Amino acid sequence: MSYSAVAACGAPRCLLHPRVTCMPQPYIFRTVELDHQSIRTAVRPGKPHLTPLLIFNGIGANLELVFPFIDALDPDLEVIAFDVPGVGGSSTPRHPYRFPGLAKLTARMLDYLDYGQVNVIGVSWGGALAQQFAHDYPERCKKLVLAATAAGAVMVPGKPKVLWMMASPRRYVQPSHVIRIAPMIYGGGFRRDPDLAMHHAAKVRSGGKLGYYWQLFAGLGWTSIHWLHKIQQPTLVLAGDDDPLIPLINMRLLAWRIPNAQLHIIDDGHLFLITRAEAVAPIIMKFLQEERQRAVMHPRPASGG
């Protein structure tokens, strides 16, 4: 396993002199070898009083793309991000994979990094993987956050033109392409601010076309609709009201099918976790820090005598 520490701004950090950076809490990058796979991970260290947060990213998205969201969270919260096989800095497998296999690989990665129970957030494609992980490893997942995602094959799809654009890895292989199509596929702030697409494209690190196609295959025909009712973790479902990829009705379905779920609608598009990070982070932190309240049985008042 190899590792390094890098500040959020990208400046290297000396492990012996941690203050020689522009950020007090750098990301610690590790490459983990599992089943002949090199998995690139990044951890932002936190404090032990908060359960660590594991992030499942969207299709084709390298872990750097969620740094703006992580930076908006409570600095005491430890956060784990990683590149799934075939994405970013992780190696591309020779054979395709499915979500149950990825959930198992994630559990092994957490073992390797010495994490027990974590809170989980899944974004878009990563939301499907988060559902699978919460279902298959309930003892490892304390709370679940699902952002801009759906139940898989059983869903109300976005517009065909938008889905066709998403089926191609071109926006990750050719960053200039995402600048052109971002308003159509992401909606929300990307419709109003051209700079958002440029900042987004600048952080893209392509893992290659094959890795993208393996991710598409992982979700082919997959659905959670028949076991969503078995997810017992407290769940926060976050939805954008201008999401061309995954219409709002899909998040309403998730919140309805998962027993202990609540829905929060954000005034933005598909990537609200990034474009509205400062507004969304407090909502997520409040949810993660809430404790279940037990019903209190009050004794009957003593009758006067």
Give the per-residue pLDDT at 220: 95
pTM of the model: 0.87
Give the per-residue pLDDT at 201: 80
Give the per-residue pLDDT at 173: 65
CA distances from 78 to 38, 49, 107, 157, 222 (A): 22, 10, 17, 34, 31
Signed CA dihedral, 164, 168, 174, 179: sign only: positive
Residues designated catalytic: 124
CA angle, corner 194, sides to 248 and 70, nearest 5?
60
Mean per-residue pLDDT of the chain: 88
Give the per-residue pLDDT at 24: 46
The answer to whether 7 touches 26, Cβ cutoff 8 Å, is yes
pLDDT digits (tens, 9 = 90+) for 127-143: 999 999 999 999 999 99
For the chain, how long is the longest CA-to-CA vector?
Answer: 84
Give the per-residue pLDDT at 292: 62
Please name the CATH architecture into which domain 2-289 falls. 3-Layer(aba) Sandwich (3.40)
Give the per-residue pLDDT at 2: 58
Could you tell me which of 245, 251, 285, 252 has the C-alpha nearest to residue 269?
Answer: 245
The answer to whether 225 touches 151, Cβ cutoff 8 Å, is yes
The answer to whether 212 touches 62, Cβ cutoff 8 Å, is no
What interhelical angle do 99-112 and 125-136 show, nearest 10? Answer: 70
pLDDT digits (tens, 9 = 90+) for 12-64: 443 433 333 344 468 999 999 998 999 999 999 999 999 999 999 999 999 99
Positions of E strands within 130-259: 141-147, 235-240
